[in-house]
Amino acid sequence: MSFRLAISSATIFLAACAQSSERAEALTRQDQQPEMMVENTDLGGGLHMLSTHTGIGNLALLVGDDGAVMVDDQLPNNGSLIESAIEAIAGEGAPRFIVSTHFHGDHSGGNAYFAERGTMIAAHHNIRTRLENSEAEWAQAPDTLPIMTFGQDLTFHMNGQTVEAVHINAAHTDGDAVVMFREANVLHMGDIFFSGLFPFIDLAGGGTVDGYIAGMEAALAMTNEDTRIIPGHGPLSTPAELQASITMVRDAAFRVRTLVEGGADLEAVRAANPLADYDADWAWFFISTDRMVRTLYNDAVGNDYAWQR
């Protein structure tokens, strides 16, 4: 069964996950935001993909007699919306566990909301550290911090599924995890995969371009031709679509690095517009072609920011 749940006043997209003022450039005025909705894609066996139509991100939800486990929890102001979606599926709104894929507020911003309702938050060690050190207002609530942290991996055995969270180092951030639902053959990749979109690689948050490519490749190695992939942003995807993103990012990085190695500075690289032929298919309102170029340039020269300076 699929359904849509609406909220009358939309949350400002990505505002809570902003770690710097530049991220607010992605926003339009609040009164221009569309109505916020959650769409449920039933993947079978008690597993669901929950998505907001504004592109904030995708959640995975596994329900059953053992209780619910969810991957990520979106923005701080989205808690009641997500809870209503879970209630419609499972009859109760607070999951037993939430696994965070990384520390950004569009994926971990709902931690406090659900922790106050009894949910245990699990995350990589670096996610807790990043949240402890964050200056974002939403991260100041004590319940935002994950109670359970792990190093390389963490496994749940719930509702007939083996749920494996695996750390991927220095990819989108320094605390990323992908989550495999083994029996269902479904992989949630967090923001190590923006399906059909230029990715945001958070250099200030410990991400790297080479690590991002390696992370996508490591995730691809976990799949087979029948695996369904939940990206951090974008539609339910296939390994072939993940491979297309790997090919694009690798090629884009090569083009920019070639210019840098030839002595081009940032303005010369931007003027060369090396990713022009990718613009129509991969650019979107948050990561434009120019922002992707600047991220690749800053990574190539060792700057610890994507485009913000």
Q: What is the pLDDT of residues 279-299, one digit of tens each?
A: 999 999 999 999 999 999 999
In this predicted structure, the answer to whether residue 57 has a pLDDT above a threshold of 60 is yes
109: domain CATH number is: 3.60.15.10
Report which DSSP code applies to 64.
Answer: S
Q: How many CB atoms lie within 10 A of CB 80?
A: 12
User: What average pLDDT does range 171-182 have in this prediction?
Assistant: 98
The pLDDT of residue 254: 98
pLDDT of res. 31: 37
Q: Identify the weakest region by mean pLDDT among 48-62, 186-200, 202-216, 249-263.
A: 48-62
Dist. CA 71–CA 59, nearest whole Å: 6
Q: What is the pLDDT of residues 18-41, one digit of tens each?
A: 444 344 334 333 334 456 789 999
Residue 307 domain flag: no
Q: Is residue 159 part of a domain?
A: yes
pLDDT at position 54 is 61
pLDDT number for residue 63: 97
The answer as to whether 31 is a domain residue is yes
The pTM (predicted TM-score) of the whole model is: 0.90
Buried b (16+ CB within 10 A) or exposed e, 125-155: ebbbbbbeebebebbeeeebbbeebbeeebe
Compare 57 and 7 and report the one with higher pLDDT. Answer: 57
Q: For 11-20, what is the mean pLDDT? A: 42
State the sign of the Cα–Cα–Cα–Cα dihedral 123, 169, 192, 21.
positive
pLDDT of 152 > 80? The answer is yes
Q: Total domain count for the chain? A: 1
In a domain, 227, yes or no: yes
Distance CA 76, CA 78 (A): 6
| Range list of H helices, the chain | 79-90, 105-108, 111-115, 125-133, 209-221, 239-261, 266-272, 279-282, 289-301
Phi and psi for 172 in degrees, rounded to 5? -70, -40
251 within some domain: no
Residue 36 lies in a domain: yes
> Is 295 within a domain?
no
Q: Is the confidence at residue 1, as pLDDT, over 70?
A: no
Domain encompassing residue 159: 4-238
CA 132 – CA 143 distance, rounded (Å): 11
Q: Answer yes or no: is 129 within a domain.
A: yes
- Cα distance between residue 139 and residue 135, in whole Å: 7
pLDDT of residue 12: 36
